Chains A and B, each alone.
Chain A
Amino acid sequence: MWTCGLSREVERYLDDAVRFSSRQGRSIRVAHTLVTCATAAAVLNELGVPAELEAAYRYVNVYNPACPLVFNKLQQRWTCELALAQHPVWGINWAGAVLICQHMGGRVPFESEWECFASNDQPSRIYPWGDAPPTPVLANFGEYFGGTSRVCNFPPSDLGLYDLAGNLCEWCNDFYRPAGGQRSSFERVVKGGAWSKDERHLKVAASRGKWERLGTTTIGFRPVWDD
Chain B
Amino acid sequence: MHTSYFRECDLSRWSAEDFDPRMLHLSLAPHWALRSFLVDLREYLLQSNSIRVIGFKETVLFGKLDWLKVFIPSLKILFLQRDPRAIVSSVLRSNLLSFWNYVHLVPPLFKAMHPDYVSRSRSVDEATRAAEIAAMSVVVRCEMARGAIQKFDHMELHLGALMRRPREQLEQIIEFLGVESDDGPLSFLRKRQLASRGGPYSSFRLPDDVERAWERHLTADQIRAIEDVLQCGLAD
Binding site for B on A (CB under 8 A): 54-58, 61, 63, 65, 142-147, 178-181, 184, 186, 196, 198, 211, 213-215
- Which residues of B have CB within 8 Å of A63? 2-4, 7
Give me 12 other A-B pairs in contact (C-beta within 8 A), A56-B37, A186-B43, A214-B2 excluded.
A54-B31, A55-B33, A55-B34, A56-B34, A63-B4, A143-B198, A143-B204, A146-B197, A181-B51, A213-B2, A213-B40, A215-B2
- Shortest CB–CB separation between residue B38 and chain A, in angstroms? 8
Across the interface, do A146 and B202 meet the contact criterion of CB distance under 8 Å?
yes
Q: Mark B106-136, 1 if CB is under 8 A from A, else 0.
A: 0000000000000000000000000000000
Across the interface, do B51 and A178 meet the contact criterion of CB distance under 8 Å?
yes
CA distance A214 to B3 in the complex (A): 11
CB contacts under 8 Å to A, within B1-48, are 2-5, 7, 31, 33-34, 36-37, 40, 43-44, 47
CB < 8 Å neighbour of B44 from A142, A179, A186, A198: A186
Instruction: Assess whether B213 is interfacial by the CB under 8 Å rule.
Output: no
Across the interface, do B33 and A186 meet the contact criterion of CB distance under 8 Å?
no
Could you list 19 examples of A-B contacts with CB < 8 Å?
A54-B33, A55-B5, A55-B33, A56-B2, A56-B37, A63-B3, A143-B197, A143-B198, A144-B198, A146-B198, A146-B199, A178-B51, A178-B52, A180-B51, A181-B49, A181-B51, A181-B52, A184-B47, A186-B43
CA distance A5 to B218 in the complex (A): 55
CA distance A7 to B37 in the complex (A): 33
Question: Considering only CB atoms, which chain B residue lies closest to A185 in the complex?
Answer: B47
Question: Considering only CB atoms, which chain B residue lies closest to A180 in the complex?
Answer: B51
Instruction: Assess whether B188 is interfacial by the CB under 8 Å rule.
Output: yes
Instruction: Assess whether B191 is interfacial by the CB under 8 Å rule.
Output: yes
CA distance A213 to B199 in the complex (A): 25
- Shortest CB–CB separation between residue B85 and chain A, in angstroms? 24
Top 3 closest A-B pairs, CB basis? Answer: A143-B198, A146-B199, A56-B37
CA distance A54 to B47 in the complex (A): 26
- Which residues of B have CB within 8 Å of A180? 51
Question: Considering only CB atoms, which chain B residue lies closest to A199 in the complex?
Answer: B191
Q: Mark B134-164, 1 if CB is under 8 A from A, else 0.
A: 0000000000000000000000000000000
- Shortest CB–CB separation between residue B236 and chain A, in angstroms? 34
CB < 8 Å neighbour of B2 from A57, A147, A181: A57
CA distance A198 to B40 in the complex (A): 29
Question: Considering only CB atoms, which chain B residue lies closest to A54 in the complex?
Answer: B33
Instruction: Assess whether B96 is interfacial by the CB under 8 Å rule.
Output: yes
Question: Considering only CB atoms, which chain B residue lies closest to A147 in the complex?
Answer: B199
CA distance A61 to B3 in the complex (A): 8
CA distance A214 to B47 in the complex (A): 16
Q: A55-B34, A181-B49, A213-B37 are in contact. Are A198 and B202 (CB under 8 A)?
A: no
Across the interface, do A56 and B199 meet the contact criterion of CB distance under 8 Å?
no
CA distance A124 to B49 in the complex (A): 33
